[in-house]
Chain A
Amino acid sequence: MRKKRCLAVGLDGVSRGLVARFMDMGLMPQVKEILSGGFSLHEMDASIPDVSSTSWASFLTGTNPGEHGIYGFMDLKPNAYSMYFPSYTHMAAPSIWDIIGGTAGDKKSTLLDRYGSRFTEPLRSIIMNIPETYPAAPMNGILTAGFVCIDLEKGTYPATAYDYLKSIGYRSDVDSTKAVTDPDAFFEEVDFVLDRRVQAFDHYMKSQPWDLFIAVITETDRLHHFFFDAAFDESHKYHGRFIDFYRKLDGIIGRLFARFHDLTGGEGFFMTMSDHGFTELKKEVYINTLFQKEGLLHLDETKEYFEQIKAPTKAFAMEPARIYLNHEGRYPEGAVGADEVRGVTDQVKRVLAALTYEGENVIKRIYDNDELYSGEAANRGPDMVCLANDGFDLKSAFKKTEVFGNGRFTGMHTRHDAHSILPDSAAPEKRLHIESLSAIILDYFSS
């Protein structure tokens, strides 16, 4: 029997809707071709909050945030208002490559419980550019981390892989500030970084042995944040460049598919996926400003970030739409006693539900912690998380005077409308969720 191999191509922020529309417009012929040969394009839900760090952690561990413990790009230290930036070292659940590679160590998860015993012979993985995998931990294969990759050397395992990546001028990310200061230079940089990334994919696909290869492209997300308004607007100055980028991306996906097909004689498991959807941004919504106006949040403005929070604050928000009650005993300035939790929760929900912009409701739904999260890290998660209607990007900035505003972004993440292309043999029975993709891959390897 031929050795089983899986190639998963991650496309950060590429929504199902965008792929479908661009295929209709004839911009993605290669993807269309793939879909005509026993593959389907599925709409998928991301984790909540629908932020890349959380969603990728859900993908790579096959668990919910209550197990893996990553609720965003920032979090607060225990018993404090000071921030820390959750990284791979904070991820409580093992990754899919740890499970198949026999490197899970002390980490535990429900996915490991289900599949761990099926992998007695360790499988080798090549993992490139998945966000939230920095710093690189030793594993069975090769890994180079995605956003936020502070130092490519610390973000790459083993050291020989760093030497190679450095030699080709590989970069983990583009400089997104250029999207505002010098858009033309930004597009050029996107091309440059993407070319090096694909060069590295090609190199490792053919020069190394592997069973699982995950290749993630993140330039898509960067482009969407700043230029999503250019996607379908022909009069937009950068519409042409946006379209050209997608033509190029289509070619890359087609080439990766063809190479994989050659390597496996057409018997491997090919898939694509994204970590969240994307839509056009109408208004940024500053939750903490709303809370201030409603008397729920009190700040000492001589301080910075969350250190500003002072009693009698009842609630505060953290990017993107995580709501925390200022619990007594949990926070230094805690002002919500156990007997007040229910009342404050109801008040927060009322305030959020009543929020409208030009007659339109901003908040689609407010989830309680226990509706979303289960596992040992669930109690470290937010008390509530909001899901906004499309177009309203929930933010937690402190220094805004108005609840609604616009920044430099034209696109925003959505929880719904992430995408996955899967072989029809692995078509899901119900609506696809990002937390179930790892199990689909493990099913393939262990069937």
Chain B
Amino acid sequence: MDQLTMLENKSIFIIREAYAKYKDIALLWSVGKDSTTLLWLCQKAFFGKIPFPVIHIDTGYKFPQMYEFRDHYAKEYGLNLIVGRNKEAIDGGMGPGKGSKLDCCNELKTNALKQTIAKYGFKALLLGIRRDEHGIRAKERVFSPRDENFRWNYEDQPAELWDQYKSESEGEDHVRVHPILHMTELDIWKYVKRENLPISELYFSKEGKRFRSIGCEPCCGPVPSTASNVDEIIDEIANATTSERAGRAQDKEDAYTMQKLRSLGYM
């Protein structure tokens, strides 16, 4: 069996396992490449028709191309699409121009998702996170319990040895399921190519720049790139020396800031 088929089988096994355990389950679809890949895998797992809702958290600040893409494929795939918004915060004028970016994310993303989960009573969510995205994800589990405050206790994680997934959980608000945790950014693009998956045009180079990850328009920066199709992206990533989150250099900056603050006794 080739590598991509193995990765695909593993993901499909996790998706089916999750659905068998939790009937109140939904897929979180950001319209980005990872969750769009996951959407595709869910279709494959259930022979073309996803038997649970697909949630899109809409901050109102996504790229116009993302809304077009979402609506087009929601219709084409016959998805049961739930668009989650924190209406109160949006009506209150929350946005990147008001208050801090953290408040904006917290209200328009985190609280919008909390409200959506509460409204529909979901017990499990399928998410397209990947282990190679970020150092903190190294300890993430495929089945990852969260409390009502969305906290993830990274020091008390269920053991998942080899492929023994711990899908049972107790006393938690909901379980997050990560069927593509084992895939890398490069795997995703190779899989996109093999399956000929539709992918947002924002990922392809225009005037020397492309987005390596997409989200809200005011907070996303493109990276310099000439890769204008999937093959060129695969080539670029295979030879990349910078991380996927290069546009999001926050972690490194925080470490530097801490060192500077410590030298003046502020920590």
Q: Which residues of A contact B (CB under 8 A)?
A: 51, 69, 72-74, 77-79, 84-86, 89-90, 92, 105-107, 147-148, 150-151, 173, 175-177, 222, 225, 302-303, 319-320, 332, 376-377, 395, 397, 407-409
Contact = CB atoms under 8 A, between A and B. Distances in A.
B175 to A, nearest CB: 19
Interface string B124-162: 000000000000000000000000010100010000000
Interface string B83-124: 000000000000001111111001000100000000000000
A106 B257 contact: no
Contacts of A51: 266
Contacts of A74: 261, 266-267
A157 to B, nearest CB: 16
Given A78-B103, A106-B97, A332-B149, A395 B265 contact: yes
B261 A73 contact: yes
Contacts of A90: 100-102
Interface residues on B, range: 20 to 34
Contacts of B260: 147-148, 173, 176
Interface in B213-259: 253-254, 256-258
Nearest to B151: A332
A110 to B, nearest CB: 16
B1 interface: no
A147 B257 CA distance: 9
A332 B149 CA distance: 7
A260 to B, nearest CB: 31
A84 B267 contact: no
B257 A148 contact: yes
B245 to A, nearest CB: 16
Contact of A85 (B149, B155, B257, B264): B257
Contacts of B5: none
B101 A107 contact: no
Interface centre among B100, B258, B266 (most CB of A within 10 A): B100
A150 B97 contact: no
17 contacts: A69-B99, A69-B100, A78-B106, A79-B106, A79-B110, A85-B258, A86-B100, A90-B102, A92-B100, A106-B97, A106-B98, A107-B97, A151-B253, A175-B263, A177-B263, A319-B267, A395-B265
A77 B257 CA distance: 16
Given A79-B149, A92-B98, A148-B261, 18 more contacts: A51-B266, A69-B99, A73-B266, A74-B267, A77-B102, A77-B106, A78-B106, A84-B102, A85-B254, A85-B258, A89-B100, A89-B101, A106-B98, A107-B97, A150-B257, A173-B260, A303-B155, A407-B265
B259 to A, nearest CB: 9
Interface of B: 97-103, 106, 110, 149, 151, 155, 253-254, 256-258, 260-261, 263-267
Nearest to B105: A78
Q: Which 9 A-B pairs have the closest CB atoms?
A: A106-B97, A176-B263, A78-B106, A90-B100, A85-B257, A150-B253, A177-B263, A332-B149, A148-B257
Nearest to B256: A150
A89 B149 CA distance: 26
Contacts of A303: 155
A78 B98 CA distance: 15
A426 to B, nearest CB: 32
Nearest to B265: A409
B151 to A, nearest CB: 6
Contacts of B256: 148, 150
A73 B267 CA distance: 9
Contacts of A69: 99-100
A92 B97 CA distance: 8
B97 A319 contact: no
Contacts of A409: 265
Residue of A77, A90, A150, A173 with most chain B CB atoms under a 10 A cut-off: A150
B137 to A, nearest CB: 16
A225 B151 contact: no
A51 B265 CA distance: 12
A84 B105 CA distance: 14
Contacts of A92: 98-100
Contacts of A151: 253
A147 B100 CA distance: 20
B185 to A, nearest CB: 24
B79 to A, nearest CB: 31
Contacts of A79: 106, 110, 149
Contacts of B98: 92, 106
Contacts of B110: 79
B8 to A, nearest CB: 35
Nearest to A108: B98
A84 B253 CA distance: 11
Nearest to A303: B155
Contact of A176 (B151, B253, B257, B264): B264
Nearest to A393: B265
A175 B97 CA distance: 35
A307 to B, nearest CB: 10
Contacts of B265: 225, 395, 407-409
Contact of A376 (B97, B99, B101, B106): B99
A24 B52 CA distance: 80
Contacts of A395: 265
Nearest to A81: B151
A51 B261 CA distance: 12
A391 B65 CA distance: 59
Contacts of A320: 266
A302 B155 CA distance: 10
A151 B101 CA distance: 20
Nearest to A173: B260
Contacts of B253: 85, 150-151
A175 B265 CA distance: 13
A387 B187 CA distance: 56
Nearest to A395: B265
A227 to B, nearest CB: 13
A69 to B, nearest CB: 7
A86 B103 CA distance: 12
Contacts of A407: 265
Contacts of B254: 84-85
